[in-house]
Amino acid sequence: MTASNTGRATVPGARTAGITVTRRDVTAGLHHLGIASGDLVFFHSSLKSMGHVEGGPDTVLDGFLDAVGEQGTVVVPAFKLTERIGPFGSWYDHETTPSTVGLITETLRCRVDAVRSHHPTHSVAAAGRLALAVTAPHRAAFGRISPWCDAAFAHNSPFDLLARWDAWYVLLGVSFQVQTIMHYLETMLVDAVLRRATESDRPRLMASVRRWGGEGIWPAPDRTRLGEALCARGVYARSTIGQATVYGARFQSVLLHALRLVMDAPQAWLANEVVTWMGTPLNPARVLAEYTAPDGAPPLMIPAASYSCAGRSRDTQGKPVAQESLG
Ligand SMILES: CC(C)(COP(=O)(O)OP(=O)(O)OC[C@H]1O[C@@H](n2cnc3c(N)ncnc32)[C@H](O)[C@@H]1OP(=O)(O)O)[C@@H](O)C(=O)NCCC(=O)NCCS
């Protein structure tokens, strides 16, 4: 498989014409990964990657819902990644702001039985038994600092709950570059370092972390390289739907193995200043156990306001700061 920066994966030799994908093909491809009735599944997607899908994005969603059955739940990103200009959150209307991460995700967001979580950059949309449970707490989530504000991947955010409930993490026809799960891992890593620090050292460490629109350190291991390494270790199972390659693994397996890779050789994955900031590498199994315990790792910080965001929203000339590049 080759991958481009657009996040689209291509299968060498695959023909672009002549393949028609049905709802049953989608379900069969997911069952082949190991997904079963009652499961909780999060997926990133490219509609076009499969070939011609009979019935379009709704067919894909119905295929996913069939794969998990009435007791299961399907979750997709409904992120707003473009035209984020002005004070944090001002670009986001919970009811009307479209998802910018694919037609399948936007189609789910617009379904009458779907629920969207409330967040200006990293909302998700869900349908099925746990739809409300996964999405509702996002608005009140807080306590883990990140460049996307303290709620994005915080305690009780959708990604936090998906990790705690060990959901399936699926990539449908997209490259490893789109693995947003790595942002959850990064946030967990930063939080774990701050949690481990002494009371007297914590403010200094916290002040160095990059916030929305600001400067600072942030651990950002190469997601493509991490995905390939996880594949090589057999963490991701592989399947196909039409001409698309599908990868799937449990959240906790991805997180544990990615944490191990990064902590075994921090210099190979993280910038020097991040390695220095972190100090002694974290223990991956201990970190994962803490964050995926039934109640999760409790929030370290109390927010000043909803979406508590300590970054800049205007540049030095007073113009709004655009945040196009943060995925
Ligand atoms: C960017 C991305 C969405 C593009 O994938 P895509 O397949 O080109 O786009 P969509 O999934 O929105 O589907 C629309 C495409 O499907 C095509 N399409 C429409 N109906 C179709 C059908 N019945 N069957 C197949 N394709 C169809 C459309 O023509 C359009 O292609 P075009 O732009 O070439 O005209 C995808 O590569 C990706 O990265 N997805 C993951 C995004 C994500 O989750 N990011 C997380 C943070 S990085």
Average of per-residue pLDDT across 117-129:
97
Tell me how far the alpha carbon of residue 23 lies from the centroid of ligand 1, in angstroms.
Answer: 17
pLDDT at 222: 98
Asked if the model's pLDDT at residue 10 lies above 50, the reply is: no
Confidence of residue 183 (pLDDT cuts 50, 70, 90): very high
> Is 211 part of a structural domain of the chain?
no
Is the Cβ atom of 61 under 6 angstroms away from ligand 1?
A: no
Please give the residue that has the higher pLDDT: either 142 or 104.
Answer: 104
More confident residue, 196 or 319: 196
- Using the mean position of ligand 1's atoms as its centre, give its distance from the Cα of residue 179 in Å: 16
Mutate to test the pocket of ligand 1, among 6, 43, 47 (most ligand atoms within 8 A of CB): 47
How confident is the prediction for the chain on average, in pLDDT? 90
Query: What are the CA-CA distances from residue 235 to residues 106, 232, 247, 248, 270 (Å)?
Result: 29, 8, 10, 8, 21
d(CA 143, ligand 1 centre) in Å = 34
pLDDT of residue 320: 55
Residue at 3: amino acid letter: A
Tens-digit pLDDT profile for residues 64-122: 999 999 999 999 999 999 999 888 899 999 999 999 999 999 999 999 999 999 999 99
Cβ-count burial of 298 within 10 angstroms (0-12 exposed, 13-18 middle, 19+ buried)?
exposed
Q: Is residue 240 part of a domain?
A: yes
DSSP 301: S
Q: Using 50, 70 and 90 to split pLDDT, how confident is the model at 6? A: very low
Residue owning the nearest CA to atom 43 of ligand 1: 101
pLDDT for 12 equals 33
Q: For residues 170 and 44, is the Cβ–Cβ distance under 8 A?
A: yes
Domain region containing 77? 2-188+224-251
Q: How far does residue 88's CA lie from ligand 1's centre (Å)?
A: 27
In a domain, residue 219? The reply is no
In a domain, 93, yes or no: yes
Mean pLDDT of all residues in 232-240: 97
pLDDT tens digits along 15-70: 445 789 999 999 999 999 999 999 999 999 999 999 999 999 999 999 999 999 99
Asked if the structure places residue 169 within a domain, the reply is yes
pTM: 0.92
Residues whose CB falls within 8 Å of the CB of residue 310, separated by 6 or more in sequence, listed in order? 145, 211, 212, 214
Q: Is 174 in the pocket of ligand 1 (CB under 6 A)?
A: yes
Which of the four pLDDT bands, split at 50, 70 and 90, describes residue 13? Answer: very low
Q: How confident is the model at residue 143 (pLDDT cuts 50, 70, 90)?
A: confident
| Model pLDDT, residue 213 | 86
Q: Which helix (H) or strand (E) holds 240?
A: strand 237-241
pLDDT of residue 4: 34
Q: Is the CB of 77 under 6 A from ligand 1?
A: yes
Q: Indicate whether 177 belongs to any domain.
A: yes
Residue 193 in any domain: the answer is no
Question: What is the model's pLDDT at position 315?
Answer: 52
Instruction: For residue 290, report the distance from its CA to the centre of ligand 1, in Å.
Output: 37
Ligand 1 atom showing the smallest separation from residue 51 Cα = 25
DSSP 70-128: TT-EEEEE----S--BSSTTTT--TTTPPPSS-HHHHHHHTSTT-EE---TTT-EEEEE
CA 100 to ligand 1 center in whole angstroms? 10
Using DSSP's 3-state secondary structure scheme, residue 169 falls into strand
- How many of the other CB atoms lie within 10 Å of CB of 268? 12
Task: Find the range with the poorest average confidence among 144-158, 171-185, 272-286, 307-321.
Answer: 307-321
SS3 263: helix
43 part of a folded domain: yes
Q: How many domains does the chain have?
A: 1
5 has pLDDT over 80: no
